[in-house]
Amino acid sequence: MLETALMLVFPAAMAFAGALDLLTMTIPNRISAALAVAFAVAAYQAGLPLETVAAHVGAAALVLCVGIVFFACGWLGGGDAKLMTVAALWIGYGEILVAFIAVVAVFGGALALAILAYRKFPVAALPGPEWALNLHRSGSGIPYGLAIAAGALWIYPQTVWFATFTG
């Protein structure tokens, strides 16, 4: 039962974070913190060797450093940088991390193009909820957490977690 919960916590939290970013343009710190704690529990439960855990932490540290630079340049929000970091913690290192970053970039580019196209519609033609109107406003940013979540969900079946907890 615990293994099933641990297998589902990452995709559920990522989907929740992506949806929140779309609706509110924020990703609460508690989501990233909960995923970091869940990683420790999952690593213990799965019996990951210390070297593997250290490599996952190293991957997260690398992504955090890049995220800080991107945040400082105004290219990425703080919540997005933290979500990307905790996703890297779960996803790991090597080719799978490169694939994750590539998939996030593709989803992020598609999301940006879709939102830019959406912003070309006149506001009068867009009666809808406040979050949709916020997305329409020029300069309101792109909810990149949605792309990060989509990338994480796309890659997750290839991770050590999926293999370990599905047998």
Query: What does the pLDDT look like over 67-92, one tens digit per residue?
Result: 999 999 999 999 999 999 999 999 99
| pLDDT 10s digits, 112-152 | 999 988 888 776 655 677 787 778 777 788 899 999 999 99
User: Could you count the other beta carbons within 10 Å of the beta carbon of residue 10?
Assistant: 24
Q: Are 99 and 155 in contact (CB under 8 A)?
A: yes
What pTM did the predictor assign? 0.91
> Comparing C-alpha atoms, which of 88, 119, 81 is closest to residue 103?
88
When divided into structural domains, the chain yields a total of 1
Structural domain boundaries enclosing 46: 2-166
Report the C-alpha gap between 163 and 41 in whole angstroms.
Answer: 17
- How confident is the model at residue 126, as a pLDDT? 56
